[in-house]
């Protein structure tokens, strides 16, 4: 691990900075008793920690392959996660497990790619699915299509990095807009470049 990665690990693992996304998810599920959700792309667990600690009856599927460089799962998006080493991602995984240990009875960890993990999740079982993994157009489109059937009627499909100005190569907006339009869904956007579709 180089100095830059060490610095990133120290500052990002220990300091939750996902309050905007957590706020947007939590306000949509606060009235639901014992909700079940999925987060696709967990990384250091910043969002998972906030969701699990602020909604103490939440069960969360945490889906991430924690692979790092060379995995080839990230399309042509210049996503920095694809540059991290395997060792670094192993360390991130270990820290994430520690950070969410307080909710170990309510977390289901799937260390695999999203296009494999979907078979572990029953159709119509989720109150929400938050997509924040492969930000390429193809990756986001595939996650939307694979996880849409997992969500209950009245639940939420959503995610991060919708039209984020810092990441012009991300294809999230195109994938989400196309899906919402094709299925005549209302699209809501929220804090921290989040998007949500009520189902
Ligand atoms: C931006 S980070 C997630 C941040 C997290 N949702 C949060 O709010 O704190 C993206 C993560 O997605 C994972 N990822 C990317 N593509 C993936 C795929 N196809 N399957 C599984 N995980 C993937 C990466 O390993 C990385 O940890």
Per-residue pLDDT for the chain (199 aa), expressed as one digit of tens each? Answer: 444 444 444 444 434 457 999 999 999 999 999 999 999 999 999 999 999 999 999 999 999 999 988 766 666 677 788 788 999 999 999 999 999 999 999 999 999 999 999 999 999 999 999 999 999 999 999 999 999 999 999 999 999 999 999 999 999 999 999 999 999 999 999 999 999 999 9
Backbone Cα Rg of the chain? 16
Q: Is the CB of 47 under 6 A from ligand 1?
A: yes
Atom index in ligand 1 nearest the CA of residue 17 equals: 9
Distance CA 127, CA 129 (A): 7
Secondary structure of the chain: what % helix, strand, coil (to 5)?
A: 45, 20, 35
- What pLDDT is stored for residue 183 in this prediction? 97
What are the extents of the domains in the chain?
23-198
Distance 102 CA to ligand 1 centre (A): 22
Contact (CB, 8 A) for 175 and 141: yes
Going by their DSSP bridges, the two strands 188-190 and 107-110 should be labelled as unpaired
pTM for this predicted structure: 0.91
Residue 83: the pLDDT is 83
Ligand 1: which of 9, 23, 42, 51 to mutate, most ligand atoms within 8 Å of CB?
42
Cβ–ligand 1 contact at 64 (below 6 Å)? yes
Cα within 13 Å of Cα(136), Cβ side: 14
The SS3 assignment for 157 reads: strand
Q: How far is CA 173 from CA 31, 85, 144, 186, 193, in A?
A: 28, 28, 12, 14, 10
pLDDT at 79: 78
Could you tell me which residues come within 8 angstroms of residue 78 by beta carbon, excluding any fewer than 6 positions away? Answer: 167, 169
- Quote the CATH superfamily of domain 23-198: Vaccinia Virus protein VP39 (3.40.50.150)
């Amino acid at each position: 691990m180089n100095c830059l990665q060490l610095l990133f690990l120290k500052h990002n693992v220990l300091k939750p900075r996902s309050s905007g996304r957590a706020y947007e998810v939590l306000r949509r599920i606060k009235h639901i008793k014992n909700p079940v959700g999925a987060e696709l792309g967990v990384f250091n667990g910043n969002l998972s920690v906030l969701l699990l600690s602020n909604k103490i009856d939440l069960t969360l599927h945490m889906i991430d392959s924690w692979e790092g460089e060379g995995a080839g799962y990230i399309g042509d998006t210049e996503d920095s996660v694809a540059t991290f080493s395997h060792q670094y991602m192993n360390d991130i995984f270990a820290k994430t497990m520690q950070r969410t240990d307080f909710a170990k009875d309510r977390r289901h960890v799937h260390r695999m790619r999203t296009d494999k993990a979907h078979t572990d999740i029953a159709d119509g079982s989720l109150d929400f699915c938050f997509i924040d993994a492969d930000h390429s157009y193809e990756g986001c489109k595939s996650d939307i299509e694979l996880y849409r059937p997992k969500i209950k009627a009245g639940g939420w499909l959503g995610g991060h990095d919708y039209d984020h100005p810092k990441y012009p190569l991300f294809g999230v907006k195109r994938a989400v807009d196309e899906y919402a339009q094709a299925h005549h869904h209302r699209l809501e956007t929220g804090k921290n470049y989040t998007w949500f579709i009520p189902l």
